[in-house]
Structure 1
Amino acid sequence: MATLLKGKEVAEALKQKLTVEVENLKQKGITPGLSIVIVGDRADSAAYIKGAVKRCTEIGIDCRVEELPGDMSQKDFIDDLHRLNNDPAVNGILIMRPLPSQISENAVKYEISPEKDVDCMSPVNVSKIMSGEDGGFAPCTPSAVMEILHHYGIEPEGKRVVVIGRSMVVGRPLSMMLLKEHATITVCHTKTRDLAEETRRAEILVAAAGKARMVKKDMVSKDAIVIDVGINFDEDGKMCGDVDFDEVNPVAGMITPVPGGVGAVTSTILAKHVIEACKVSSLKTMKFMCPKY
């Protein structure tokens, strides 16, 4: 049986570290602030928002939820976004997606402040991740994958890594983050010929295709590290990942469960990004007020 890479354990360790960081900031009169923006009544986002607010509040972040009407115009939405961009109490902005059809995400992504874009919507942050540049915020989910690897002492350097999925939400940014740490990357997708042949080469296999239980035991090499990013629901309404856990568990060396794996870390990563944004903002303010700082 594979060793379980438990997301809750990773999240708890990171939470303790972040709580100390926030306490230190508050002693200096600084409180990190996050604004979560949701347009319309989105039941599918409610659980994530609830979990994010709970985790950020536990850590000490001032977390607000901006609930905006579902029929608001794009202009009104962007005006509201500019207000948050200019609010010094807001260090991080998380826009819940997808947005209603009358609001273009392609337009909005150019309006959000890159310094407050804690889930990598801005092209500025996307560019930094793709070029391997420091200073940008990666999407929270691939950041959670990296946090799990680091927590368990799994070094990507020199390893053969296969990522199933090429979305801008997980697959592509995660591939660039792994490449930055000197892994050898193969990205697979719907047009990949003989997917199983590719995945069996992996020392680290990341499943981020969004298809329930698609990764079977014949696709995994013995003792491979398997990271399951998928969140799906089967015909019985049971949550499951992109990996057939019962089949792959006896073959893999390490594996993340679903639930309780990558998804359990994402809200804590969100808090981490807000704190990082707060630190950068505070440093800029101090340099402005004290040019010799």
Structure 2
Amino acid sequence: MNSIAFWAALLSGSRNGMDPRVSATSLRSCYADGLSINSTTGEIFGTPTGTGVSPGIVVRVTDDIDQTDDLPSFTITVRNSLIRLVDQRSHIGAATFTLDDVECGQEHASRVIAVAATGAGVSHEVSGMVIASATGLGVATTNDRSAAIYFAATPTGETADIDVTVSNINIFVQFEVFSLYGVDATVFDSDTLVDASGLNDSFNASVSADDDGIVLAGFCSNNNSASVTWTNLDEISDVDTAGFANERHSTAGLMDSAAGTLSVTVETSAATGGSLVVVSFAGL
């Protein structure tokens, strides 16, 4: 298990947030070993000693005459690796442009900002990105339509500018921005697929996954009415660009992956052309 553990949060029932007569808080029940509570502020902190789901955590508040009350129970899920969708953007127009003030999520020493970029239309590729002044590493399709994932280690900063280069003008490109935690900022393995026939409803790519790693994928079809279903990955976003382009953009991911070959399939509810990119990241 790495240092990612648990994001401490100030509970709504803490002394600073509610009745000033509350004199102390305590954990009445907590099954996540390694966590403690600040009895004055109600802040839960620490590094859990193992992964898993810890349900039924209850915080008890005590007032200045020793009366007690229990706040509603909640659950903490501890993972070695984590994916968070933190921003969504789109662009059509110039071939080089900047996405300004993109949200980056919680700062952390292991944070990697990853950007999935997908588009259809005139033959093109998303050929490069600079993320918070760092040249993004990545994987991209190189013909017909785009499916790309670029990323850079970005431990600090609440927002960042992202400079993008596309090989053609007036291409509608959808961007999904993720903060990844607990993985190395290099490509462990990758695969891409482009099918321009417009006649298929199933698209497949395979990658080698690492223990406690992350697998992230992006897909674009040129049929916005065709819904998308992922196999072996959990869908994260689904964007119907009706009104801008006849396209459907979808992303999916897997946290705490197991070592081995992972086959990723995208099925669409109607025949379409499509582009698919899958990238795996090694766990720390």
Q: Structure 2 length normalisation: TM-score? A: 0.25
Higher RCO (CA < 8 A, seq sep 6+):
1
| Structure that is richer in helix per residue | 1
Larger Rg: 2
| Structure that is richer in strand per residue | 2
Q: Structure 1 length normalisation: TM-score? A: 0.24
